[in-house]
Amino acid sequence: MNEILNRQWLNGNFPFNQDILYFPEAIPFRDFKPLLEVAVNSLFEVFSHKKLLHLEDWHNQDGYITHPSPSEWGELKHTVSSDGALYNLRGKDFDVYLAYFSESFDFILRFRINDVFDDPRLSGISGIMDITSSDEVLKQIEKSLPENFKDKCKKEESKKYFDRNYGG
């Protein structure tokens, strides 16, 4: 997180007073990539007019505060549609997510790519993600998910989720 998001989370303010949609278990890469594409395309449909930022999010690992960089929707859509580009985004440390969000925090999309070096319990490359946004946007994403993954996602209050998963 950056300083602003961290303060908003600690105080339970927007966007952490909304819900979060997440997959509690790592998903094999071959299945994760299409799920991430659905999420990005759904967010693009609603927020393509918003300025996009990204950062390494250390919230789950140790809470380290980072600074966002500008990003482009086209770049994000290309990255999540390419096996190689997406795989190359895997973190250099365990439990570090990539976070993409609008400048106005209308949504936060966080994901990470894991390989067997990150977690020896995994049998291969996998991914995990969560999305914080309005209930309307999360419902749109849920409707777009492949049928076999609709029962694998969970939804709860974003503040509670981030409190529970804080690594610092």
Cα atoms found within 13 Å of the Cα of residue 32, Cβ hemisphere only: 25
**Mean pLDDT, residues 39-59 taken together:** 97
Asked if the structure places residue 28 within a domain, the reply is: yes
Asked if the structure places residue 61 within a domain, the reply is: yes
Asked if the structure places residue 148 within a domain, the reply is: yes
**70 CB-contact burial (10 Å; exposed 0-12 / middle 13-18 / buried 19+):** exposed
Query: In DSSP terms, which residues pair with 155 in a beta bridge?
Result: 21
pLDDT for position 119: 61
pLDDT for position 117: 64
Asked if the structure places residue 168 within a domain, the reply is: no
Q: Residue 68 in contact with residue 53, Cβ under 8 Å? A: yes
pTM: 0.95
Asked if the structure places residue 12 within a domain, the reply is: yes
Domain of 46? 3-163
Q: Residue 14 in contact with residue 8, Cβ under 8 Å? A: yes
| pLDDT-wise least confident of 6-10, 117-121, 155-159 | 117-121
Asked if the structure places residue 80 within a domain, the reply is: yes
Q: Summarize pLDDT for 103-145 with one digit per residue, the tens.
A: 999 999 999 998 866 666 666 889 999 999 999 999 999 999 9
Asked if the structure places residue 66 within a domain, the reply is: yes
Q: How many domains does the chain have?
A: 1
For residue 1, is pLDDT > 90? yes
pLDDT for position 118: 60
Q: Summarize pLDDT for 56-111 with one digit per residue, the tens.
A: 999 999 999 999 999 999 999 999 999 999 999 887 788 899 999 999 999 999 99
Asked if the structure places residue 38 within a domain, the reply is: yes
pLDDT for position 121: 64
